[in-house]
Amino acid sequence: MDAIILNGMPVDVAAQESLLEVAARQGVLVPTLCHHPSLSVTGRCKVCLVEADGKLVPACATRAVPGMLVETDNPRVLTARRRRVEALMRHHRGECANCRQREFCGLLELAAAVGLGAVEFREAPLSPPVQSGALLIDLGKCLGCERCVRVCREVRRVDALRHPRFTHQSHAPVRFDPACEGCGQCAVVCPTGAIVEASRHPAERRVRTVCGYCGTGCSLYLDVREGQVTGVTSDPFDPVGGGNLCVKGRFGFGFIHHPERLRRPLVRSGTGFQEVDWEEALEFAAGELGRIRDEHGGRALAGLGSARGTNEENYAFQRLLRGALGSNNVDNCARL
Ligand code: SF4
Ligand code: SF4
Ligand code: SF4
Ligand code: FES
């Protein structure tokens, strides 16, 4: 390996490594905004400035070249970064008390990282916030980092987001192409309240669980407030989905506390249904399944397992069909 001099110390660098990656490997914190580990590099925001061979350069978009002299926290670098963040804040419609992003705000984090205390925010909105499906769009809070556009194009492979030019003067709304799948991933990577889930509110606690919608098994956190599930937060370290969720996994939790949710079994009675207890329902189902098998043979029966069941539950289900009821007509709705 060849080396650069990072803050006075020689550090080996690999081919194609960026200054940001080298610094991170050495435990040197360089604040970032437009950079995201899952997205292409644009070097757009200039928040991650460092000094390389006497020039200020964005660390995320600058390759480490052997022999380079790099400073990440000299007074010139710190001043330049602070000015950059100050400028972003002056163009930002700050109303943190009511902002749905206040729990996870990347801009407030950035301000703290560059040592900004009291901040002057923009006062008037560029355009009023608008709702698009489950998302709330507030362009006055946009920092122009393009993370939303890139995640839709590069990770979701949908390319549905049409964002106005990032001039902070544009009154054009963000447009979602009809191809938009409503997955909400653009809101997840947006560092501010510019694109947020309309239903998001700070959680009192988060419970880690596995999404119950399909057999893929994405991990997620259920946001809980006053004993109710109020939202879903994805887990960027989830080895299955890497923090990506589909529209059902992210927004399909309304059924949990819905007043019409079925909580007890129903048995058909005439043209309607009758609520019964579990014992009665199971006895009825077992009796009818046994009767059909005895009268018509196992092949008269078929079973469709649920993608929302665990592997173990689906294994037990097919054993019931094959072993107890004598039918090989068994399938799973995951194949539909
Ligand atoms: S995005 Fe951050 S800085 Fe802006 S209003 Fe919301 S919490 Fe405040
Ligand atoms: S909701 Fe998903 S599909 Fe729609 S624009 Fe955002 S990232 Fe793209
Ligand atoms: S909407 Fe959010 S993610 Fe998209 S450019 Fe603006 S600040 Fe960045
Ligand atoms: S984080 Fe490097 S330029 Fe934006």
- List, for residues 245-290, the tens digit of each pLDDT value: 999 999 999 999 999 999 999 999 889 999 999 999 999 999 999 9
Pocket probe mutation, ligand 2, options 132, 156, 189, 251, max atoms within 8 Å of Cβ: 156
Beta strands in 100-166 (DSSP E): 130-132, 135-137, 161-162
Q: Please tell me the distance from the alpha carbon of residue 331 to that of residue 328, in angstroms, as a whole number.
A: 9
Strands 9-13, 266-269: pairing is: unpaired
- Residue 175 pLDDT: 66
- List, for residues 282-334, the tens digit of each pLDDT value: 999 999 999 999 999 999 999 999 887 888 999 999 999 999 999 999 998 87
Pocket probe mutation, ligand 2, options 176, 196, 248, max atoms within 8 Å of Cβ: 176
CA distances from 336 to 218, 271, 304, 307, 321 (A): 19, 29, 11, 10, 20
Q: How far apart are the CA of 112 and the centre of ligand 4, in A?
A: 17
* Ligand 1 contact, 187 CB (< 6 A): no
Q: Is 322 helix (H, G, I), strand (E, B) or coil?
A: helix
- List, for residues 10-47, the tens digit of each pLDDT value: 999 999 999 999 999 999 999 999 999 999 999 999 99
Which of the four CATH numbers 3.40.50.20, 2.20.25.90, 2.60.40.420, 3.30.43.10 does domain 208-261 have?
2.20.25.90
Q: How far apart are the CA of 164 and the centre of ligand 2, in A?
A: 15
CATH class of 2-86: alpha beta
Residue nearest to atom 7 of ligand 1 (CA): 102
Ordered by start, the domain boundaries in the chain are 2-86, 208-261, 266-335
